[in-house]
Structure 1
Amino acid sequence: MRQTTHEVTTELDDRAILVSLVTQEQKRQDAYDPEYSLAELIALAETAQVEVLGTLTQNKEYADSKWFIGKGKAEELKEMLQENGANTAIFDQELSGAQVRNLETYLDVKIIDRTQLILDIFAQRARTREGIIQVELAQLSYLLPRLSGHGKNLSRLGGGIGTRGPGETKLETDRRHIRDRIAELKRQLAETVRHRTLHRERRKKSGVFQVALVGYTNAGKSTLLRQLTAADVYVENQLFATLDPTSRQLKLPSGVEIVLTDTVGFIQNLPHDLVAAFRATLEEANEADLILHVVDSSTEMMPIQMRVVDQVLEELGAHGKDRVTVFNKVDLLSPSQADMLTTEGEFLRVSAFHEADLKRLVDTLEAHLAGDSKTYRIPADKGDMISLVYRVGEVLENGVDGDDMLMTVRVNSKEYDKIGYMLAAYDQSQHAQGDRGENTEHV
């Protein structure tokens, strides 16, 4: 299948033909749709500021070990590149170093695969030090085993001061430098992860209820975060508009404050090197008390996108977390289409721009936070504990009994465990239990 455009412009440096190979193995995968995957590749290319001049699709039983696509299709691709004045070929699947080298030599253009394209977009989006480190680590981890396939110049002998050695080639020098750089980046990332872990532990001890927004890229997570918390976050109708995670506080009607965290969007065939590098960031979902799975209900590929998110959450070990599915963008559907949106478990149908829908979402968060009422006996001079109780629960009643405060609080079981963790830090033997009732926790 061959498609080309009729107008060729030269405003962008990268002018590409996109190539997709559909194998029998891919056809057997439930979460794979070749037409949608190619359409998504076009969107990725445009996001990376690449001018798309045409597409080429081949159906084949399996990938060719030398050319990836068949030799005849490679000849057809060469003709397309020359006819359209393209200088890049972007493949919808991941290529080996040998395949890149062979195609680059035969086609005489830059060869990029889906993984490299996504990594390039992430490199453009990274703003924080952590994001920049994670992207560079993913890029180098991807490049190292494929180094021999990226440019003839990499195999030439090194020259100039600092590169001379007993027969050391530039390729070997590049490999050594990349390994050293990977080791340094991993060291820096480990330090960043350590700080992030400390922040998580502080949040746990403070008893703040944590909610993670997860979902396919461009599902509207950042828009929801901005509408709910007035957060100053970048919002745009494009893939991976935001990369670095953003956490903001949300005050519920009961007065309790919770933390909402917007995570990086998922996508089909999310590069493994990227998942590994961003694991510390993605694990915000794993550490959350509740996951809001934000779904773009306006796209025909909604079922595939939902399965992709499920797969990534399972890989992260967060599949069993409490979850609410939020079908977003219902304002783009007809009422009958919106009524058909359903899934297993708890779900909501919302538009991030409708105040009533946002209120229902906040009420849902409040319901997950609420739980059984407990009565706590806390020494009146323990202001930090009293403050904690107000933060994590709804204080229904309080009173004074001697030197202690009696506080009846509605709190869910998870928050009760957090308060219990803090209570255990005090010496319970200082207080006589007396007749305090079966539902009274004391310090």
Structure 2
Amino acid sequence: MKKLVSLILSLALVFSLAACGGQTAQSPAPTQSPAQSDAAEGPVTIENGGRTLTFGEVPQRVVCLNMQMTEMMLMLGLGDKVIYTCYTNAEPMVQIKDAFNAIPLLSEKYPSTEVLLGAEPDLVLGQRFGFTEDKAGTVETLADHGLPAYVSEGTLASEEKIENIYLDIENLGKIFRVEDRAEALIGEMQDKVAAVAEKTAGVEDKITVFVMDSVKENEMYTCAKSMETEVIKLAGGINVCESDSAEQWFYVSAETLIDKNPDVILFNQYGSTPVEEKIAAITSNPALANVDAVKNRRFMTTVLQDVNESVRVADTVTRFAHSFYPELFEQYPVTITSYNQEGLLYDQTFDACPRRVVCNQPQAIQLLLALGLGDKIVGACRSVGDVNEKYTASFEALNFISDNDSPSKEVVLDQDPDLIIGWGSTFGESTLGPVSDWNDRGIHTYI
């Protein structure tokens, strides 16, 4: 059992730096405490969406129409000012999860004007989409009721930029008299983005990305000059549809995806449609089989909030860059201890992260899927054994090279692997042959 645990940990270590899922750790959010100076020293005036907002004192009862604004308030240490949040459609950021979950939910989506006013806030924060008559009410309507509204700057812009987020943080810092916290948070985000820019500055052949938000029959919903495009760009990539529409979000045909032929397809995860279904819609379409990203199974997923107008985007830039250009961020070589076909331990040194994995063992395939490494599997085998329902869709979307667990040497070689994972019997004389033969070809093995 100890050997099994050791092997699983070793496998996780080999791939850990390349995994794409989850949020990058940040420094802890400021301790939730009263704002530095609730007794304002004179009024504060800011410009927002062509309006001038003046605050004679620090707001004490804030409603956030979107979780992005709630997270921004919490990261500024202003959770004590937020009386309600709305439209919580994702897991909160790890470092503020407990504080976020402690804030009451006013509405599952956008509240009506009546519900919002009934909460008796003295300030409402939100993205542009919530401030309409059929939702929370326009900013003019709310102003007529004596309720000031701050609208997220990026959602007001025709082309979203990370500077819009910095401006939101700066403005909230002024409104709540916590300018030093705002400056620190902006600086932390800028440092992360700058670190990525330094690493990717010399990249000439930039990764091309197609954003796949959703699928409707033969059409796909994608983006142009949105915050997601900005994040891709800051990570050193290119959104292939950036200049294709004046609209931030629009539909394209499958033919567009074929013509663009991106290196990577980035799937947005949100709502009731599992991302595995979106992936399956792409991989099951024979017309897309020769698109590079499909052919190489180079898929990425992201929670939509991570590429939205929020404090999350600096971490997302880092995560995307690691996935686009893992060779720039790897801490290799890595040496692990594994077995050969005779059950003898020996060391293998990985000089780079494996990119093309052939695997014939369902348990190991599911382990890779659980680690968010399905994009590394270029060849899988159908074998006896159940697949956890959590991974069924991802499993079925893989490229199967054999209906059993014994693919031929020729079929395996056709996948151009740099790592083969399998049973000990996989490397028998009558199957793929000893691991030393594959190692001599420069192909790693893991039993």
TM-score of Structure 1 vs Structure 2, range by shorter chain:
under 0.3
Larger Rg: 1
TM value normalised by structure 2: 0.27
Task: Compare relative contact order (CA 8 Å, sep 6+) and give the higher one, 1 or 2.
Answer: 2
TM value normalised by structure 1: 0.27
